[in-house]
Amino acid sequence: MILEDEAATLKWAEQFALTLKPGAVIAISGNLGAGKTVVSKGICKALGFQGNVSSPTYTIVHEYPNTPPLFHLDLYRLSDGTDLEEVGWDYFITSKGITLIEWPERLGKNQAEITHVIQIKILSDNRREITVEEKSPQ
Ligand SMILES: Nc1ncnc2c1ncn2[C@@H]1O[C@H](COP(=O)(O)OP(=O)(O)OP(=O)(O)O)[C@@H](O)[C@H]1O
Ligand SMILES: [Mg+2]
C-alpha cells in the first residue's frame, strides 16, 4: 500500500489496529524516520489510548495504561547482549496486551514470538510503502 503523507499512515495504522487481538506482538521495521512511531501512534489511538505516544528510545519501553494494555518498545539503543527478560519481555507477551516493537531486528531469539511484521519503505519525503505480514502460529 502506498501512503501519500503522514495522515494517510496514521489512518492506515488505525484501520490495521482494529484487526488485532490481545496478545499480538507487532514488529515495525523501517529506516530512521520511516514512520514507525507514526504507525505506533495510530495503533494506540485506535485501541483507545488518548495520551502521548513517543519513541521510548532511551527507556526502551513505554507501557501505556489502556485496555488492552499497550507496550511500546524501541530497541534501537538496546545494548548488545542485553537480555530482553531484563526489560520485561515475558510480562509483555503474557499480559494479553498489544506489543509494538520498533527496531525488531534486535530481538534475537525472541523473533519467534512476533505475530505481525509491518515494513515501511521511504519512497520520498512524504510517500511511504507499507506492507504487513501475519505470521502463522508457531
Ligand atoms: N507518509 C508518511 N508516513 C509517516 N511519516 C511520514 C510520512 N511522510 C512524512 N513523514 C514524516 O516522517 C517522520 C516519521 O517519524 P517517526 O518518528 O514516525 O519515524 P521512526 O521510523 O519512528 O524513526 P526512528 O527510527 O527515529 O524511531 C515524521 O517526521 C513524519 O512527519
Ligand atoms: Mg520511532
Handedness of CA 136, 106, 4, 124 (dihedral sign): negative
pLDDT tens for the 138 residues of the chain, in order: 999 999 999 999 999 999 999 999 999 999 999 999 999 999 999 999 999 999 998 889 999 999 999 999 999 998 877 888 888 999 999 999 999 999 999 998 889 899 999 999 999 999 999 999 999 765
As a whole number of angstroms, the distance between CA 14 and CA 11 comes to 5
pLDDT at 101: 97
Is residue 102 within 6 Å of ligand 1 at its C-beta?
A: yes
pLDDT at 138: 57
* Domain made up of 11-78: CATH architecture: 3-Layer(aba) Sandwich (3.40)
pLDDT at 59: 87
Name the residue at shortest CA distance from atom 1 of ligand 1: 5
Is residue 28 within 6 Å of ligand 1 at its C-beta?
A: no
What radius of gyration, in Å, describes the C-alpha atoms of the chain? 14
Burial class (CB in 10 A: 0-12, 13-18, 19+), 117: middle
As a whole number of angstroms, the distance between CA 114 and CA 97 comes to 13
In the block, cell 525472541 appears at 110
Residue-range domain boundaries for the chain: 11-78
pTM: 0.96
Is residue 30 within 6 Å of ligand 1 at its C-beta?
A: yes
Is residue 126 within 6 Å of ligand 1 at its C-beta?
A: yes
